[in-house]
Amino acid sequence: MTRLFFDGRPIETRAGDTVASALYRAGRRIFSRSFKYHRPRGLLCVAGRCPNCLVTVDGQPSVRACVTPIRDGMQVRHQNATPSLEFDWLSAGKWFSRLMPVGFYYKTFTHPRAWKLARQFIRRAAGLGEVSHVATAVPDRYEHMHNRADVAVIGGGPAGMRAAIGAAEGGQRVVLVDDQPELGGHLRYQRLAGVEQARGLQERVEALENVEVLRNASCFGLYEGTLLGIVQRPPVSGAATNAAGDAAGGSHRSAVEERLIHLRAERIVIATGAYEVPRLFTNNDLPGVMLSSGVERLLHVHGVKVAERAVVISDDPDGGPMVEDLRAAGVEVVAVVTSPGVRAATGGSQVTGLTTTVGHFACDLVVVCGDWMPDAGLVGQAGGRLEWDEPRGAFVPAALPPHVTAVGAVAGVPDQVAGAARREPAQAPGATTSPSPQSFVCLCEDVTAKDVKQAIAEGFDHIETFKRYTTVTMGPCQGRMCQLAAIGICARETNRSMVATGMTTARPPTLPVSLGALAGARHHPTKRTPMHERHEALGCTWMDMGEWKRPLHYGKSDSADGPGGREAKARAVEGEYRAVRERVGMIDLSTLGKLQVTGTDAAKLLDKVYTNRLGDLRPGRSRYSVICDDAGIILDDGTISRLADDHFFVTTTTGNLEFVQQWLEWWAAGTRWSVHVTNVTGGFGAVNVAGPRARELLQPLTDCDLGTRAFPYMACRRAEVAGVPCRLLRIGFVGETGWEIHFPAEYGEYLWDLLLQAGQDFGIRPFGVETQRVLRLEKKHVIAGVDTDATSNPVAANLAWVAKLDKEDFIGKAAILEALSRTPRERLVSFRMTDGQVPEDGAAIVEDGQPVGRVTSARFSFANGKAIGLAWVPAALAADGQEIQVNVDGQLAGAHLVAEAFYDPEGTRLRS
Amino acid sequence: MVSQTAQAQPYRCSAVYRRHLGLGATMGEYHGWRTAMRFDSAEREQRSVREGVGLADVSWLGKLDVRHAEQEWGGISDGISAASGDSPVGGAGAPTAVPRRAWQLARGHAMVTCGPEEREYMAGAAAVSGNHVTDVTSVYGALLLAGPRGRDVLHKLTDLDVSPSAMPNESAGQGGLAHVHAVVLRADLGDVPAYWLLVGREYGEYVWDAVTHAGGEHNIVSFGMDALDALAPRRDAR
């Protein structure tokens, strides 16, 4: 026997039960408390279309109990009620309803302090369950799937099944989507004739190999014209999910609880049918007031005896088949009344009677044979609209795009089934007679007919502004239960027709979708360098740089924010720093963007895009340059190395690779130049071996002459290092003699291990990004995107030297010329702190008590014994020796601007 | 003078080398790469692939990126076709698993796949009319998803239409796979459907994990080169 637990108490279930049917059979009548007034609410539609049965299931809030199949051991809890559904002290809020009229939150709490006071209470009192603050312990709970079809049919009722059969027999690949465990739509919960008809159609569908059936699958949106969003719960996987496929072993159960399916279809058939909407009378929201379709589902699908004594509200004086069904189930039908005669339902926590113009009837169930509304959310999202058809007295779809069709009840064509309940077309409750002020129009947001009228009286009489002011149609039901009534009242109160009143815009999702389903499986792309495992083995502390993982430093300081972590980090960085400055260090640079630019016109393209002159760059040489946009703003920087006349090797910053590639391709497009840009970032691992003993370390490993004369600063060579074909660039970002070594990534581990081993005799240490930042700051080397921003040009950033204005043209030249003709507003300067403080990156530069600039990077310099940094300051302050004030932890601290590099200003070590 | 340390023998590892060591794989050298030869028994792996789905690391696969004028596609395709027959290393003993052909990915953009030893030879064949040919063997990691349930696994990872009608044997596509760009080549191993997934090497380990995770429902197995050779025997001597 499968059991679920509701608020900790075990509930016996039966095969085919949903959470709601099991709870109802066990005697539960209150399923939730309303959003605002905490009124008790019970089952209403039993079809997942109203907000009345939202519960928390296994920690997931706002799950619709009536469409959620049971699972053994399922933990179901009530939500939005304290302490219990039966006694909720927040229901006392009804006594203050006069203080909470429609739109009260737009008028009250307008003062920030008032809102601050009220916010906590409001957030506690109103809501739709709580998201767990604890990460789910079930990593495989959600997943995404992608599927394609020639024809997607949304809705497995008779019209949908017929459409699927027709398309499949025409040779089309069909996916049929239905939100129920079995096909049949409304036929499933009607009397025998309907069930038999459904079974016949289902057998025909299942016999077709080119029809894939997705059961328990709800389509919640139509995107991009042909992309359908579908949530399947619990999913049944595999391409063949029809009965034949299941029998053939085509399905596999998994731990997945919700699957989001991206279905692309050439043609879409909307067969979503129609749904029943409530009628308006006082206390129409009491538990025990239920739509006739909901009653039918409980009776025929779940075999639940719904009540002992029922009153049926129907415009059919005999009550139609509903009365027969109730009697057949052993329910006493006390009375059948027509809707104009209904005054009020009575009762406290559940209905005890119905007061009408002809008297009061005691009962424990009021069955509302409501109006029927096309389930047309997808129609609107497809670009079509629902139009009020006066002669038919119904909304019908219009203006659908050619690849979308609507069939069946959603198109205003009710299915004729012998013995089936009569479907009344929508008559818009409230359109003809004034509804009771205390009747609830919107069950999701607790909006009454009185509220609706008041909003209109306040001037919100356009359907869209009215919606935003009252929040009608904005709750979990997305307007299914309330839109028709709201339009009806709006039309009546404004003396407009239903057509003129119109409908609100339909947007996805049309059904509640869990955030977990949208997020899918935990696939977060991560980029790893070829030496990732070696860094891990060396005990590095990782940092995220976009999708890349980079060693911040070696040695663990996971609690870097704590004092212990900070000290460990400082010790590690100093050790790495001293290795580079005094001996030799090695850093993994594989994350640098790397582009290969080839072709006879490669130099022409690079000269066009980069500010430095590259056309005259000799093979075997490298140059630094920046890229600017038309406005002269620095977009990126990097080095360009010429390996051959028609072959350049370009590096970019780690984060800007894709942009630089697109930028180069953009400017090459349409030129007819012979040039191609290839991203080879992942193909090359890279390290920088730097320090006074770097040459001693590397020379024995290669036949390439690394001497100063043979391999000067800013030279590049292709050479083997320890048998690996490499590209060697003599570049000095950290300010020491050093080589960037780029090599095929598959040799990464081998070369890293070998260099560390060979470097033991020279005191080598690997160093991380944090140490690199200290080293480069001492050399005043700028990092584009860190020390520059979306307003920085080379003139203000002291990089004007890299813009060769005597070049014929390059992107941004005119803007840089213009910038040179005037004094910049700000300048990028370097500073040294007077005392021992280290400012945070982003700290304010303060003058006369006002922030006038900002620190972009600051670190403690071991060479200077004080903190140094780069900062943007007003041009008037940008003079060598100028004293500035920096905000450090809320206190002002002094600093002086320094024009030259903090370390080796002549560049002697770099070039040696 | 090159030192003794430099005399060490360079070795090549794919992006999932360490992951495979962690899985207890028996490693060996395959086409010059340290590669998983087997995780379990080759026979069991082969059976699992034939009946369900398996995943292997084939990063050693030679890959050439070819940018060409649209009208030159036929020349490249024919050139590679002819070269694959004449390749000095493509004859007897070569694994038939290696798809040795040109794949058109987009207008003016093709990919050539081949054995790693014949990259230079194939590059020459592809370089008709001054096309730009770049060896991207190191740039792309390559995973082989093989078996009748392979398509179901791909359904969880990519929006590409991998149905038999849209992607029959010897066809290619490119698009997102587990949120990263991938080139998907369909080159079956005899009667076993097989998808060769080329992804940026830096994503290799992530994509391996994502495919393995997605395949869990279908009991996906890791398989090594011994099973691959059994699935696609080497060419007979001519």
Chain B environment of A173 (Cβ under 8 Å):
163, 165
Question: In degrees rounded to 5, what are phi and psi of residue A825?
Answer: -70, -40
Closest of A480, A498, A485 to residue A429, by C-alpha? A485
Closest of A368, A375, A373 to residue A291, by C-alpha? A368
Are B161 and A148 in contact (CB < 8 Å)? yes
SS3 content of chain A, % helix, strand, coil (to 5): 25, 30, 45
Distance from CA of B59 to the nearest CA of A (A): 9
A139: nearest CA in chain B? B213
Greatest C-alpha distance within chain A = 111
Between positions 86 and 115 of B, the ones with CB within 8 A of A are none
Distance from CA of B55 to the nearest CA of A (A): 18
Within 10 angstroms of residue A523's Cβ, the number of other Cβ atoms is 21
B89/A857: higher pLDDT = A857
Helix (H/G/I), strand (E/B), else coil: A154: strand
A432/B210: higher pLDDT = B210
- Quick check: bond before A181 cis, omega within 30? no
Number of helices and strands (H, E) in chain A? 23, 46
Closest of A747, A589, A678, A523 to residue B205, by C-alpha? A523
Are B202 and A548 in contact (CB < 8 Å)? yes
Distances A887 to A138, A562, A849, A891, B142 between C-alpha atoms, Å: 46, 22, 10, 5, 52
Between positions 44 and 73 of A, the ones with CB within 8 A of B are none
Chain A environment of B210 (Cβ under 8 Å):
521, 523
Chain B environment of A751 (Cβ under 8 Å):
10
User: Vertex A588, ends A582 and A594: CA angle to 5°?
Assistant: 125
B150: nearest CA in chain A? A238
Closest of A603, A579, A629 to residue A774, by C-alpha? A579
Contact of A450 with chain B, judged by CB distance below 8 Å, is answered with no
Helix (H/G/I), strand (E/B), else coil: A145: strand
Are A682 and B14 in contact (CB < 8 Å)? no
Closest of A281, A291, A215, A257 to residue A52, by C-alpha? A291
Closest of A653, A650, A679, A676 to residue A665, by C-alpha? A676
Are A145 and B155 in contact (CB < 8 Å)? yes
Task: Tell me what ipTM this predicted complex has.
Answer: 0.94
| Pairing verdict, β A309-313 and A365-368 | parallel
Question: In degrees rounded to 5, what are phi and psi of residue A203?
Answer: -65, -40
Contact of A527 with chain B, judged by CB distance below 8 Å, is answered with yes
Alpha helix locations (H) across A257-373? Answer: 292-296, 320-328
Contact of A240 with chain B, judged by CB distance below 8 Å, is answered with no
Distance from CA of B238 to the nearest CA of A (A): 34
pLDDT of residue B238: 36
B185-204 residue pLDDT tens: 999 999 999 999 999 999 99
Contact of A546 with chain B, judged by CB distance below 8 Å, is answered with no
Which of B133, B135, B165, B217 is the best residue to mutate to test the A interface, defined by the most A CB atoms within 10 Å of its own CB?
A: B217
Whether residue B8 contacts residue A722, with contact meaning beta carbons closer than 8 Å, is answered with yes
Judging by beta carbons within 10 Å of its beta carbon (0-12, 13-18, 19+), is residue A210 exposed, middle or buried? middle
Are B202 and A140 in contact (CB < 8 Å)? no
Whether residue A883 contacts residue A820, with contact meaning beta carbons closer than 8 Å, is answered with no
| Pairing verdict, β A447-448 and A440-442 | antiparallel
Greatest C-alpha distance within chain B = 60
Helix (H/G/I), strand (E/B), else coil: B18: helix
Between positions 730 and 749 of A, the ones with CB within 8 A of B are 744-749
Q: Which residues pair with A229 in a beta bridge?
A: A221, A262
Residue B156 has pLDDT above 60, yes or no: yes
Whether residue A138 contacts residue A256, with contact meaning beta carbons closer than 8 Å, is answered with no
Distance (Å, whole) CA A339 – CA A798: 81
Contact of A750 with chain B, judged by CB distance below 8 Å, is answered with yes
pLDDT of residue A95: 78
pLDDT of residue B175: 95
Are B10 and A530 in contact (CB < 8 Å)? no
Sign of CA dihedral A675, A680, A681, A686: negative
Distances A521 to A515, B159, B208, B214 between C-alpha atoms, Å: 11, 15, 14, 9
Between positions 259 and 278 of A, the ones with CB within 8 A of B are 262, 264
Are A679 and B139 in contact (CB < 8 Å)? yes
- Specify the length of chain A in residues: 912
Whether residue A250 contacts residue A240, with contact meaning beta carbons closer than 8 Å, is answered with yes
Between positions 551 and 590 of A, the ones with CB within 8 A of B are 590
The dihedral region occupied by B48, where left means phi > 0, alpha psi between -120 and 50, and beta the remainder, is: alpha
Are A682 and B200 in contact (CB < 8 Å)? yes
Measured between CB atoms, which of B2, B10, B65 is closest to A747?
A: B10
H or E element: which one contains A648?
strand A647-652
Distance from CA of A297 to the nearest CA of B (A): 33
Distance (Å, whole) CA B150 – CA B132: 33
H or E element: which one contains B101?
strand B101-106
Which of A523, A590, A649, A661 is the best residue to mutate to test the B interface, defined by the most B CB atoms within 10 Å of its own CB?
A: A523
Distance from CA of A182 to the nearest CA of B (A): 23
pLDDT of residue B93: 54
pLDDT of residue A415: 57
Contact of B181 with chain A, judged by CB distance below 8 Å, is answered with no
Cα distance between the two ends of chain A: 82
Question: In degrees rounded to 5, what are phi and psi of residue A400?
Answer: -75, 145
pLDDT along chain A (912 residues), means of 10: 92 94 97 94 95 92 92 93 91 79 80 80 80 66 92 96 97 95 87 78 95 95 93 58 34 70 96 93 96 94 95 87 92 93 94 95 95 89 82 78 93 58 53 80 94 93 91 91 90 87 87 88 92 96 96 78 76 96 98 96 97 97 97 97 97 95 93 92 98 97 97 97 97 95 97 97 97 97 95 95 94 96 94 94 96 97 96 96 95 96 94 91
Cα distance between the two ends of chain B: 45
Chain B environment of A146 (Cβ under 8 Å):
155-160
| Pairing verdict, β A826-833 and A866-874 | antiparallel
- What mean pLDDT is predicted for residues B13-20? 96
Measured between CB atoms, which of A521, A526, A722 is closest to B213?
A: A521
Within 10 angstroms of residue A460's Cβ, the number of other Cβ atoms is 20
Distance from CA of B16 to the nearest CA of A (A): 10
Number of helices and strands (H, E) in chain B? 7, 13
Distances A901 to A135, A774, A829, A842, A880 between C-alpha atoms, Å: 48, 13, 11, 21, 12
pLDDT of residue B4: 52
pLDDT of residue B43: 96
Measured between CB atoms, which of B9, B139, B206 is closest to A680?
A: B139
Distance (Å, whole) CA A284 – CA A280: 6
- Quick check: bond before A112 cis, omega within 30? no
Within 10 angstroms of residue A622's Cβ, the number of other Cβ atoms is 21
Are A746 and B13 in contact (CB < 8 Å)? yes
Distance (Å, whole) CA A661 – CA A681: 11
Distance (Å, whole) CA A168 – CA A182: 19
Q: Cβ contacts of residue A756 below 8 Å, gap of 6+?
A: A586, A764, A766
Contact of A146 with chain B, judged by CB distance below 8 Å, is answered with yes
- Quick check: bond before B88 cis, omega within 30? no
Are A146 and B136 in contact (CB < 8 Å)? no
Alpha helix locations (H) across A779-853? Answer: 813-820
Between positions 137 and 166 of B, the ones with CB within 8 A of A are 137-141, 151-152, 155-161, 163, 165-166
Between positions 53 and 82 of B, the ones with CB within 8 A of A are 59, 65, 67
Helix (H/G/I), strand (E/B), else coil: A823: coil
Within 10 angstroms of residue A849's Cβ, the number of other Cβ atoms is 7
Chain B environment of A682 (Cβ under 8 Å):
138-141, 200-203
Contact of A210 with chain B, judged by CB distance below 8 Å, is answered with no
Q: Residue A384 CA to chain centroid, in angstroms?
A: 27
Contact of B200 with chain A, judged by CB distance below 8 Å, is answered with yes
Are A746 and B180 in contact (CB < 8 Å)? no
B62-83 residue pLDDT tens: 999 998 877 778 888 888 888 7
Distance (Å, whole) CA A857 – CA A852: 16
